[in-house]
A and B are shown apart, each in its own frame.
Chain A
Amino acid sequence: MPVLSVAGGGNGHKLDPVSIDLEDKVSLQRGATIFVNYCLSCHSAAYMRYNRLAKDLKFSDDPKESEKFVAKNMLFAADKIGDLMKAAMPIEDAKDWFGVAPPDLTLLARYRGPDWIYTYLRSFYLDEKSPSGWNNTVFENVAMPHVLYEWQGTQKAYFTKNEEGVKVFDRFEMIKSGTKSPQDFDKDMRDLTNFFVYLGEPSQLKRQRVGWYVLLFLALFLVVTYFLKKEYWKDVH
């Protein structure tokens, strides 16, 4: 369990900024596909339902078709479209294999922030000392192996010491290329991060849309109340 308590280990790896666009449905769909295929086998998103995903991500213009698409292509770990997105792997097995249950990822983006996720996903490196053979510069001694190493390739990390003698991350070196170019891999991870931001708060686009109407109404109401007040107060001196 101490594995988790050093989350965000401070070896000076600066987080790479990522641009988030929840209106970009293609990016969200791509992120969702990666998520259900690669993350959901071990991690859950247990506060989220498949049908909500189908409704918001619009895999088709017709909501029924969109649900059908999700039911056909994404329902690996559940029976019904209204189910919560639970992990395929039982928690007990996960504890046996990794020493720790993989955390639920529904709220990851609200907990860690998008930049952290984007950088973390791209910062796995070979480490013979770690039980899984992998380590991560953003999350030191993380129990998770590099699931997407076939895409990204295998990289080695180089560290230097700063003035205080503390080990700090210097750079990565690719020792075996993956099936995707670095640009394509970064783009995929951006889509996945984008999806995590959506997953953290599915209502956020609606929230902002409603917000503009509320503000518009209040602005108009302010004009009315202001003149009402002025009318009443003209005889107060």
Chain B
Amino acid sequence: MQSLLEWVDARFPLLKVWNEHLAEYYAPKNFNFWYYFGSLAILMLVLQIFSGIFLTIHYKPDVGLAFASVEYIMRDVPWGWFIRYLHSTGASAFFIVIYLHMFRALLYGSHRGPRELVWIMGMVIFVALMAESFMGYLLPWGNMSYWGAQVIINLFDAIPVIGPGLSEWIRGDFVISDATLNRFFAFHVAAVPLVLVILVFMHIVALHRVGSNNPDGIEIKENKGADGIPLDGIPFHPYYTVKDIVAVVVFLIVLSSVLFFAPELGGWFLEHDNFTPANVLQTPPEIVPLWYFTPYYSILRACTPDYMIYLSIFVGIVGAMTLFSARNIMVKAVAVVTPLILIVGFYTLEAKFWGVVAMGVSIMVFFALPWLDRSTVKSIRYRGWMYKTALGIFVVTFLVLGYLGTQPPEGLYKALAQIGTLIYFAFFAFMPWYSQIDKTKPVPERVT
């Protein structure tokens, strides 16, 4: 055994990789609950790829056969129902894990320097994951699959000049059709998963270069012992491998409880309207995306013509604040010109287009977090009341917007979604100010 290892090691850096990423990768010893979701996200990626391969064996990407082939998997393929539910429950579970993983970064400042690239790569993974799930949702060819894709792809029509051509190019047809189903299948099973795996690899390589953050937001590499090992670090393997396995088992218990006893989860994980085949002539009463997209869907629908006045005031305030606090003349110029262009745009281009823009910005704005946050401390433990309050309000707003996205945008719900949209953007837009003036507590030398 030893000689075999030596033989391999002379030809491949097996020991080096093992040591750098596991046995001699020193992670802070004070990881808490929030630090499980990274390894759980990898577990979910593996489960989705594994179950996806088995589904691909029996699934048929053809508008005449797709719906029936899913039911064939559910009925005639041995354990097909298990594989299918693993994949459908897994999709939602993946998003829950990813959202909690991202929330951890907001809690402890994991996106802050020197981990900006780790965060950006993570955000690219998040966007790729959204594309992956959106395209995967078309494949069962249920009625909600069809109409959901129809509504979302039609959004591109709102882009001036290139819009209609662009949406046609995405569909490969004038309507959602066999051409769309086939290309979504290709992207869902080959292109995007490949990109995801590469991005996850890069995400981890970048993380291991700078080292993990921790609930205290302290750099453990700044306190090394005589042997060059961080005093507050412990080898990832075996300590965090055995710890994460416990989390994996707990997570699998939760996942199995849904998968085996409530795979539809009352319509939240599998929508009732998707148990009837795609029908061009029969629009579902309410077209709603799955829950993990609904906050952004709410933001999209909030942008109606009567909402433009509030958006104008909002960008005006952010522009004015930037104008007065910026020192660089170029930044001052941008702070004046950008809001003016936007306000002119709000009243010249149609509101639907600004809905698409707002939805896009609501996702993309996360990329800017490392630079929006100006606090001298990273962890919420040493921040003042302002950031804590802002984060609390943001989380509640995100959940409320998520619920409103599943409801018809009328009356009180529409008003709430519009207020929520402003709060959502305010969390990011005003962060440079409130994070800076927020009173901080002294950060200890060593982890607690």
Q: Do A and B come from one complex?
A: yes
Which A residues fall within an 8 A CB radius of B? 1, 4-5, 8, 46-49, 52, 103, 106-107, 110-113, 200-203, 207-208, 210-212, 214-215, 218-219, 221-222, 225-226, 228-229, 232-233, 236
Q: Which of B68, B275, B281 contacts A5 (CB 8 A)?
A: B281
Chain B residues engaging chain A, CB cutoff 8 angstroms: 29, 68, 71-72, 74-76, 81-82, 85, 234, 238-239, 242-243, 245-246, 249-250, 252-253, 256-257, 259-261, 263-264, 272-273, 275-276, 281-283, 285
Q: Return A55 CB to nearest CB of chain B, in Å.
A: 11
Instruction: List 14 A-B pairs, Cβ < 8 Å.
Output: A47-B71, A47-B72, A47-B74, A201-B74, A207-B81, A207-B82, A210-B82, A215-B253, A215-B257, A222-B250, A225-B245, A229-B245, A232-B242, A236-B234
Give 6 new A-B contacts, CB below 8 A, not counting A5-B282, A211-B256.
A47-B74, A47-B75, A214-B256, A225-B246, A233-B243, A236-B29
B253 to chain A: closest residue by CB: A218
Residues in B neighbouring A5, C-beta threshold 8 A: 281-283
Beta-carbon contact of B74 and A229 below 8 Å: no
Question: Which residue in chain B gives the minimum CB-CB distance to A224?
Answer: B249
Instruction: Using known A-B contacts A4-B282, A110-B275, A207-B81, determine if residue A202 contacts B246 with beta carbons closer than 8 Å.
Output: no
A-B interface pairs (CB < 8 A), number: 91
> Lowest 3 CB-CB distances: which A-B pairs, in order?
A211-B260, A47-B71, A110-B275
In Å, the complex CA distance between A21 and B224 comes to 64
A207:B260 contact, CB within 8 angstroms = yes
Complex: A196 Cα to B272 Cα, angstroms: 15
CA A47 to CA B245, docked complex, whole Å: 40
In whole angstroms, what is the CA distance A103 to B279 when docked? 11
Contacts known (A202-B75, A207-B81); A222 close to B272, Cβ less than 8 A: no
Instruction: Choose among A111, A210, A211, A232 the residue that contacts B273 (Cβ–Cβ < 8 A).
Output: A111
B264 partner, pick from A46, A110, A226, beta carbons under 8 A: A110
CB distance from A220 to the nearest CB of B (A): 10
Find chain B residues with CB under 8 A from A215 CB: 253, 256-257, 260
A215 to B272, CA, bound (A): 27
When the two chains form the complex, which single residue of B252, B261, B276, B281 contacts A107, counting CB atoms closer than 8 Å? B276
* Contact (A203, B75) CB under 8 Å given A111-B276, A229-B243: yes
Closest residue of A by beta carbon distance from B261: A211
Please name all residues of chain B whose beta carbon is closer than 8 Å to the beta carbon of A218 when the two chains form the complex: 249, 252-253, 256
Q: Are B81 and A48 in contact (CB under 8 A)?
A: no
B29 touches A1 (CB 8 A): no
Contact B260 A48 (CB under 8 A): no
Decide if A110 touches B74 in the complex (CB within 8 Å): no
Q: Which residues of B contact A211 (CB under 8 A)?
A: 256-257, 259-261
Residues of chain A within 8 A (CB-CB) of B71 are 47, 106-107
- Closest residue of chain A to B29 (Cβ to Cβ) is A236
The answer to whether B249 and A203 touch across the interface, beta carbons within 8 angstroms, is no
Set of chain B residues within 8 Å of A110, measured between Cβ atoms: 264, 272, 275
State the Cβ distance, A118 to closest chain B Cβ, in Å. Answer: 16
Q: How far is the CB of A32 from chain B (nearest CB, A)?
A: 16
Docked complex Cα distance between A110 and B253 (Å): 25
Which A residues lie within 8 Å of B257 (CB)? 211, 215
Given contact pairs A236-B29, A236-B239, A222 touches B246 in the complex (Cβ within 8 A): yes
B281 touches A221 (CB 8 A): no
A41–B359 CA distance with the chains assembled, in angstroms: 49
Query: What separation, in Å, do the CA atoms of A101 and B354 have in the docked complex?
Result: 42
Residue of A nearest to B249 (CB): A222
Residue in A closest to B263 when the chains form the complex, CB atoms: A207
Our pick among A46, A103, A219 for the contact of B68 (Cβ within 8 Å) is A46
Task: Select from chain B the residue with minimum beta-carbon distance to A4.
Answer: B282
Cβ contact of B242, chosen from A1, A107, A229, cutoff 8 A: A229
> What's the least CB distance linking A22 to chain B, in Å?
14
Across the interface, which residues of B come within 8 angstroms of A202, CB to CB?
A: 75
The answer to whether B75 touches A214 (Cβ under 8 A) is no
Measured between alpha carbons, how far is A140 from B29 in the docked complex, in Å?
Answer: 65
Q: Which residues of A contact B282 (CB under 8 A)?
A: 1, 4-5
State in angstroms the CA–CA spacing of A208 and B76 once bound together: 18
Q: Judging by beta carbons under 8 Å apart, are A208 and B261 in contact?
A: yes
CA distance A228 to B240 in the complex (A): 12
Task: Give bound CA distance, A228 to B238, whole Å.
Answer: 10
